[in-house]
Amino acid sequence: MTNVIDESGILAISTRLQRLSDQLRKDGLLIYKANGIEFEPKWFPVVYTLHLKPVLSVVEIAGEIGYSHPSTISLLKELEKQKLIRSKKDKTDERKRLIQLTEKGKALINDMQPVWNKMIIALTALTDTKNNLMKAIEEVEQQMKSFSFFERAQQL
């Protein structure tokens, strides 16, 4: 811990969060690879969403994963190239593209289950410290919902 940012305290919290996120994502990729799974961590939100809700439009997926719709479209393009998802027009609303997992996609999820389980165990061990990271995130999001960082700072 010799560096300034680690010592600059809470002002650098955004940087710290991002760094932690990146590290976890990088390790995630390594874990999939080491287990012979061809899957990128950034695909997880879309694939997991379609696993739980099998047929959704582009905007619905974007809403579920909390990304903008253009970001979602580009993820969907990658997943389509991998043949993990496919899409069809909604017959009752011609604007909508309905997305679903392909058989290959469903099979991959099946193969990934044991890896996801390992990840859950490892992440739980990693974050189950005196101050639980997942709970801390949830608590802060809750706090922000009632009163954002901006509002709090302006009120002073």
Partner DNA sequence: TTTATTTATGTAATTAACTACGTAGTTTTG
Partner DNA sequence: CAAAACTACGTAGTTAATTACATAAATAAA
Contact positions vs DNA (CB under 7 A): 15, 18, 22, 40, 42, 57-60, 66-71, 73-76, 90, 92-98
Instruction: Decide: residue 138, CB within 10 A, 0-12 exposed, 13-18 middle, 19+ buried.
Output: exposed
Q: Which residue carries 């593209």 as its tokens?
A: 97
Q: How far is the CB of 98 from a copy of itself (least distance, A)?
A: 17
Q: How many residues bind a copy of itself (CB under 8 A)?
A: 72
Q: Are the CB atoms for 119 and 112 separated by under 8 Å?
A: no
Q: Cβ–Cβ contacts within 10 Å for residue 79, how many?
A: 22
Rounded CA-CA distance 126/50 in Å is 28
Considering CB distances under 5 to 8 angstroms, the limit depending on partner class, which of a copy of itself, DNA, none binds residue 58?
Answer: DNA
Enumerate residues 91-110 that contact a copy of itself by CB under 8 A: none
Range in contact with a copy of itself (rule: CB under 8 A) among 75-83, 84-92, 94-102, 112-120 = 112-120
Considering CB distances under 5 to 8 angstroms, the limit depending on partner class, which of a copy of itself, DNA, none binds residue 20?
Answer: a copy of itself
